[in-house]
Chains A and B, each alone.
Chain A
């Protein structure tokens, strides 16, 4: 079964840090770029970051650049997103998403998401 499973979400104070993980199974992980997409409560989808299969091309949304760091370990079929200097507006469900075709490609599969709440 093709699966992406996120973990690491939780409650954190403004200015704090959190590390999200995404574990992949059931597909050729090393051939996929991986993206993080977030969704604030009651809002739409917002792309956060992407990393290509070889970790050569890494991109960030302007809203998180300089604060979030994406990385991957192909030997462990996993991707991480380090969230630093968190703000209240970073509160969202964070989805891990695969993309077989790289830049411009479609997002499939999606994980079920992990909730990050930033609050004092």
Chain B
């Protein structure tokens, strides 16, 4: 089965840039979506189709995808960005949706 690897945690100071990676075999050939889950809340979509942003999501959130890694970059990090972030793809071979294990972003 297809596996997505994310670092369990990342700490960043306010105003700095956070880059969260999502590794998977030839993930660059798939569409990657990212969701944010703040403590005690349901997830929300923050980046879809590798790099597009839903309406209402700040331009500080950006995505990229190539080769064996996709990335979610959050520029000028704010306290409100503290959350768990999950990458997601569709595995055509198994017809399954696959989530990464999640990355807990801590704003120092």
Residues of A that sit less than 8 Å from B by CB: 35, 37, 44-47, 50, 59, 61-62, 95, 103-108, 110-113
Contacts and interface: CB of A to CB of B under 8 A. Distances in A.
The majority secondary structure among interface residues of chain A is loop
Interface string B1-37: 1000000000000000000000000000011010101
B102 A45 contact: yes
Interface residues of B toward A: which range?
20 to 34
Interface of B: 1, 30-31, 33, 35, 37, 42-45, 48-49, 54, 84, 86, 88-90, 92, 95-102
Contacts of A45: 35, 37, 43, 86, 88, 99, 102
A26 to B, nearest CB: 15
Contacts of A44: 84, 86, 99-102
